[in-house]
Structure 1
Amino acid sequence: MQLVVRKQLVDDMVPVAEIDTQRQDVFYGTFRASMKMTGNPGTCAAFFWYFNDTQEIDMEFLSKDFNPSNNSYPVNLVLQSRQAAEAGYNAASTGNFIKAFLPFDPTTDFHEYRIDYIPGRVYFYADGEVLAEMTGSAVPTSPGHLILQHWSNGNPLWSGGPPPNDSALTVEYVKAYFNSSLLQRHADWAARCTNATAPGAICEIPNLDKDWFFGLHPNMTPNQTVWVSDENAGSRLEILRWWTIISALLLVNGWLLGLW
């Protein structure tokens, strides 16, 4: 799948792309996306978890900051919080903004980017290696959903752009293993998992295996539920459905239009 930012403005706005999960009950978990970034300067690629403007976990890649001449490929790791909102949504002043540097060129191949979100703590990864850890009151405490974005608004302080050519963020897969905030799912878990410490009670999720999907490996434990078709009844884990925003537009030198 490709999320494309167009070079040609439409009514002084940049055509961009976004895709969101339909489910809003994603509460703690591990979220993983295999992506290849554009090499064209002037876009922001984002993989993030979102509840609202003060509870947000971001991985953002600014293509204008990639520098092949010195192998510098930064990624911005952010917790948007109430403190960041009070500072004009500038998380850099809150201690919950880290610019990490990738040990590879993200524009030449697919790499897995990962967010582990647990109570009071967030870990960020690239290809299974920890990039940063954040803790404290800025860690979200509400359920939310996952978003992939590729955008530009011409702001020289962030995305830059528009890009000189149509530019694609290419997504190989997205995997999300998470707790649900729905009470029905809590009751279902309590009925199936009467002893979380029993042998076989936990399904191990392997790292960095792009061809491994939880739903293709049923019966790992007595407590496992995987997605099945809607025609089948009984306990199941619904697939993450995605809302696609096609040809969304961003104002040049303006704020995102209803996307944040």
Structure 2
Amino acid sequence: MANLITIQRAVDNFKELIETSILEGGIKAKEAMIRSSRPINNIHEAVKADLIRKGISAARIHPPLGETTPELKLAGFIKQKYQDVSVSPEGHVPEEEIMTEGILREATDYYGKDYTERTISINVRSQMSSLAKNFDTLYERTIAEAQNLHVRCPKMVLGEVYMIPVKEYDASVMDNNEIAFIDRIGAVEKYIKSFQAINGRPNYQREDYKYERVCLLLVDFQQSPAKIYSTNQELYDDGLLERNSDASIEELSWETFTDSILESYNDRFNG
């Protein structure tokens, strides 16, 4: 399929939308742009595009390429929730069932446990400001999403793409329609180590709070094009990570994300 968006193009589109909104309308316009989901939808599209490049039929991807609806609303142990990007299983059809366990007992699951467990779900998130201040809440929410589905469907393959800036946009000058960045570097090492702790779940009978694969997109939006960090050496060179740190972005990089997701899926269901 031609003209599939790359992650670099997606991140640059994100940057352009945010910065254009600041230049045209200040902080309120920037906040409205983020609420519109237009910037983050570019990352959704990059995930879908990479799945297609790796051989997944476009017909199995929800929402379809280029669309934001319909999403699959899958039932876990605690709640039913629309999934950002899903890959439906081949050779299986949804079978409506009444749930018998958990908080959702007696609720209708429109897909059924077997279909849900064989569906790949990938969450896509970003946090563009107050990285240190909001960390605990955001991290707890990330863990809870995995637990919700894994408690009910232990073999389910889950992915997470989480994007943060290595330098935050400076909100103090936005109402002057100016783009500037805070020199203070965000909590890069803390984010890397925290996502390493929930990355990789080879044994589906354990660690339901983990994802089969996490991608942490560390982006310097001050550069044009935006710089995506994929190796520790790049982080060392730009002073974002101490050389003696035991944090590693390489196991969380975009380059191997979809390969890892599909490998986990094949091991679980086709091996």
Bucket of the pairwise TM-score, normalised by the shorter protein:
under 0.3
More strand by percentage: 1
Query: Scaled by the length of structure 1, what TM-score is found?
Result: 0.24
Query: Scaled by the length of structure 2, what TM-score is found?
Result: 0.23
* Higher relative contact order, chain-length normalized (CA < 8 Å, sep 6+): 1
